[in-house]
């Protein structure tokens, strides 16, 4: 399953959130979306999910326009996780995760069962707690569990995740990273917007750099994330390290680090 975005344009009043953005997303790959604040990362994900109207351009899955797909078909293909849970009401964590099954339809399964998804994100002890009593990081992980229940990588499923590593401690970052790599290895596509370049370097295979609503560059992460490219996007100097490019202002950079931006 491949997703193609062609010349996407999105405006909010006088603000152009996306300007002629084009990219291809392939299965079996974790793709990171990087860029400064207000670069268009969340808008891009919402466009790919079909929940943001385009002023111009088209989104297609395997050559079929997303707008022409039924909602059920789209829900079986795309699991979208926004920055906020978007769940109100007195639901238990287990029930919120189970919402993912409604999209897949009777008798269909996603990448994980409800119980397995809850366990995979480290929330087994909280499965029967009210969702609104969870921390922000726990709510985000419950949302990830929901989309793992919703879509199946073996059937061309794709995960579109907005800041899945936010509000997570190092152990949970590792847990989430492992899940995303496993989903991609099973044939699915993963697209995740994120802020931390070091996390992107360790998790992603490909990267899309956004600036001012436009795609500045896209490709394999080692070739795209050069200190020079990051300097031009973020406006601060980067240097190379064994953990990928890091801002030059960070302390305790190894003395063997070299390169400039």
Per-residue pLDDT tens over the stretch 159-216: 999 999 988 999 999 999 999 999 999 999 999 999 999 999 999 999 999 999 999 9
Can you give the pLDDT at residue 255? Answer: 46
Task: Show the domain range for 240.
Answer: 236-261
pLDDT at 85: 62
Q: Considering the domain boundaries, does residue 65 fall inside one? A: yes
Q: Are residues 159 and 33 part of one domain?
A: yes
State whether residue 180 is helix, strand or coil.
helix
Contact 227, 239 (CB under 8 A): yes
65, 107: one domain = yes
3-state class of 39 per DSSP? Answer: coil
Report residue 66's pLDDT band, with 50, 70 and 90 as the boundaries.
Answer: very high
Q: Is residue 248 part of a domain?
A: yes
**pLDDT at position 71:** 87
230: in domain: no
Is the pLDDT at 146 greater than 90, yes or no? yes
Residues 82 and 194 in one domain: yes
Cα(144)–Cα(161) distance, rounded to whole angstroms? 8
Do 162 and 251 reside in the same domain of the chain? no
Is residue 231 in a domain?
no
Q: Give CA torsion, residues 17, 18, 24, 30, to 10 deg.
A: -20
At 256, is the pLDDT very low, low, confident or very high (cuts 50, 70, 90)?
very low
The pLDDT value recorded for residue 90 is 87
pLDDT at 86 over 70: no
Percent of the chain with pLDDT over 90: 78
- Residue 107 has what pLDDT? 55
The answer to the question of residue 167 being in a domain is yes
- Please list, in sequence order, all residues whose beta carbon lies within 8 angstroms of the beta carbon of residue 199, skipping any fewer than 6 positions away: 165, 173, 177
Do residues 66 and 194 share a domain?
A: yes
Whether residues 109 and 7 share a domain: the answer is yes
CA distance 232 to 211: 9
Return the pLDDT at 102: 83
Domain match, 206 and 244 both: no
Shared domain check, 240 and 175: no
For the chain, what is the mean pLDDT? 91
Residues 202 and 171 in one domain: yes
Tens-place pLDDT, residues 90-101: 899 999 999 998
Say which residue the tokens 């726990």 belong to.
138
- φ, ψ for residue 26, nearest 5 deg: -110, 155
Do 259 and 182 reside in the same domain of the chain? no
Q: Tell me if 249 is assigned to some domain.
A: yes
Check if the beta carbon of residue 2 is closer than 8 Å to that of residue 61.
yes
Residue 127: which pLDDT band, with cuts at 50, 70 and 90? very high
pLDDT band at 73 (very low <50, low <70, confident <90, very high): confident
Question: Residue 255: which residues within 8 A CB-CB, separation 6 or more?
Answer: none
Asked if residues 3 and 60 have their Cβ atoms less than 8 Å apart, the reply is: yes
Residue written as token pair 């929940």: 51
Cross-strand bridge partners of residue 81? 161
Q: How many domains does the chain have?
A: 2
Mean pLDDT, residues 140-144 taken together: 96
CATH number at residue 144: 3.40.50.300
**Do 10 and 127 lie in a common domain?**
yes
Averaged pLDDT, 49-74: 91
Per-residue pLDDT, averaged over 52-68, amounts to 92
Nearest residue to 189 via CA among 208, 205, 168: 205
Q: 167: helix, coil or strand?
A: coil
Residues 174 and 60 in one domain: yes
The region of weakest confidence among 51-55, 80-84, 199-203, 228-232 is: 80-84
Indicate the pTM of the whole model. 0.92
pLDDT of residue 257: 47
Indicate if the alpha-carbon torsion angle 40, 43, 45, 48 is positive or negative. Answer: negative
């Amino acid at each position: 399953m491949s997703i193609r975005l062609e010349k996407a344009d999105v405006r909010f009043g006088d603000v152009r959130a996306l300007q002629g953005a084009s990219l291809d997303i392939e299965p079996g790959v974790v793709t990171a979306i990087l860029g400064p604040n207000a670069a268009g990362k969340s808008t891009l994900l919402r466009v790919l999910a079909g929940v943001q109207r385009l002023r111009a351009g088209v989104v297609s899955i395997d050559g079929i326009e997303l707008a022409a797909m039924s909602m059920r078909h789209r829900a079986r293909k795309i699991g979208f996780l926004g920055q906020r849970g978007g769940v109100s009401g007195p639901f238990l964590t287990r029930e919120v995760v189970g919402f993912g099954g409604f999209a897949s339809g009777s008798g269909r399964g996603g990448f994980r069962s409800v119980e397995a998804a809850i366990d995979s994100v480290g929330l087994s002890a909280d499965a029967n707690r009210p969702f609104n009593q969870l921390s922000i990081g726990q709510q985000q992980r419950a949302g990830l569990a929901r989309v793992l229940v919703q879509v199946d990588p073996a059937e061309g499923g794709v995960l579109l995740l907005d800041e899945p590593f936010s509000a997570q401690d190092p152990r949970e970052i590792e847990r989430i990273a492992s899940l995303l790599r496993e989903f991609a290895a099973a044939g699915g596509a993963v697209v995740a917007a994120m802020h931390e370049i070091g996390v992107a370097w360790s998790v992603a295979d490909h990267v899309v750099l956004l600036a001012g609503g436009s795609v500045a560059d896209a490709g394999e992460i080692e070739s795209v994330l050069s200190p020079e490219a990051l300097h031009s996007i973020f406006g601060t100097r980067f240097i190379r390290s064994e953990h990928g490019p890091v801002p030059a202002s960070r302390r305790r950079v190894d003395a063997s680090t070299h390169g400039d931006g």
